[in-house]
Each structure stands twice: as structure tokens, then as C-alpha cells.
Amino acid sequence: MSCCSHWRIWLPAIVASMCFATRALPTTTTTERPEARSISLPPVHGMRTKPRLRRFELRTEDSSVRFHVREGHQQAIVECGQLRGNLQLGPKPDEGTLTLRLDLSSLRRLPSADRDTNIPAVLAALGNVEFVYHGKMVAVASSDLPGITQTTWLGRIHFDSRVIAQPIQLWRCELPGRAMRLQGQGVLATDALGAQTRATFGLLDAHDTITLGLDLAWKPVRD
């Protein structure tokens, strides 16, 4: 068989294999990468937010302010019927301001009072006089009970043209589902309020005392 015959036999096979190899070769394509974008994720429920100032108004219908008056050996308890108040608590646990306004013309004697007690002389005011207390929280202490802390306030009483420095300690109670409360008491010096000083048996000067008892319920003010 001649060489030409051999080429005639193998030539179609060689051409077919070359075509197959050409089709089998992978084609190179250029893909564009997507542009990087920042995604804002929603806040996760339960994450702590930055502390902020909280404002409250007094819930007068659930609050009580009483004066426990001790005049010598006599004592009486009177309650204030008209009161207003504002409270602010700052981001830090020991930051806060308290304003309390009492209309002393609304004082009423409770039935347990001794009838001989001269309340007008002890309080030195039973007219249209407003008793105002402005206080600033200066310290806070935790307790063994959850939601209850002891707060210390330094402030001033504005009373019938007098200004009197008055510290007071109040328990703060914050429980879920209940109104926040401030409860406590402070002793007022009646001589500073302008009450008279008496002599007891001609030997000692007896100063009448007034204990201010507070049970204050607060409702939050929405911003």
C-alpha cells in the first residue's frame, strides 16, 4: 500500500480528533465581583442601651406626706392633702434631683392625735403657706433586697420666707409592674421653722420636733 493510501485512511481521524480537542478546551470568562456594601443590622433585643435621664411626676393619689408633731409630752399626726412633686434620675446611680411642694393650708389632723396639742404654734403656719423642698441625691447604697436601695439627699426647705438646710434618707423601691416609690423620714428642727421654745420645769429648754414622713409614688414622664 502506498503512502498516499495511508494518509487517505488516517487523515479524517486526525482532523476529527483536532476538532474534538478544540471543543473540549475550556473557555476563559471574566466574572465581575459584586460591589461590597455595608449592611445595617437591626438592634438585638435585650442589648443594653446607653443610660439616660429619667423624669417622673408625683402620683398624688397614691402618695402620702405626714408630719409627726411632738410638743413636749404631747404628739399628733397631721397629713397634707395637696402635694406636687418632680423627680429626675441621672445616668449614674447616685445622680438625681427631687422637688416636693406641699400646701400647708390642706393639713388635717388624724384621729390619733392628742387633742391638747397646739399644732398651729408648732408648725408656725396654718395659712396659705407653701412648703417646698429641693434636694439633690449625694449617695446611694444597695441592700440585700432586689430592687431596693437607700438614697441620701441634701437639700433646702423653703418655708414662709425661711430657707433651711435639710438632709434626708429615702428608700427607693423599683419592682417590675409597680410604680417606683421613695419612702423615708427626716426630723425637722422647729426652732429653725420659727416655733416657740418653752422651758420645762424651769430647768431645760425643750424644743418641739417635727418628723416629716414621706411615701411618694412616681409615674414616668415620656419624652
pLDDT at 73: 73
Predicted confidence (pLDDT) per residue in 113-151, tens digit: 555 555 555 554 445 578 899 999 999 999 888 889 999
CATH number for 54-220 (one of 2.40.128.110, 3.60.20.30, 2.60.40.1120, 2.60.120.560): it is 2.40.128.110
Q: Taking the complete model, does pTM exceed 0.95, yes or no? A: no
Structure confidence at residue 153 (pLDDT): 95
The mean predicted confidence, pLDDT, of the chain is: 76
pLDDT of 121 reads: 53
- Dist CA 110 CA 78 (whole Å): 6
Cβ of 216: how many Cβ atoms within 10 Å?
A: 25
DSSP output for the chain: --HHHHHHHHHHHHHHHHHHHHHHSPPP-PPPPPPP----PPPPTTPPPPP--EEEEE-GGG-EEEEEEEETTEEEEEEES-EEEEEEE-SSTT-EEEEEEEEGGGEEE-TTS-TT--HHHHHS--SS-EEEEEEEEEEEEE-SSTTEEEEEEEEEEEETTEEEEEEEEEEEE--TTS-EEEEEEEEEEHHHHT---EEETTTEEEPPEEEEEEEEEEEEPP-
Instruction: Give the mean pLDDT per block of 10 residues along the chain (223 residues).
Output: 53 52 51 61 58 91 89 79 95 93 85 59 57 94 91 90 88 92 86 54 53 94 83
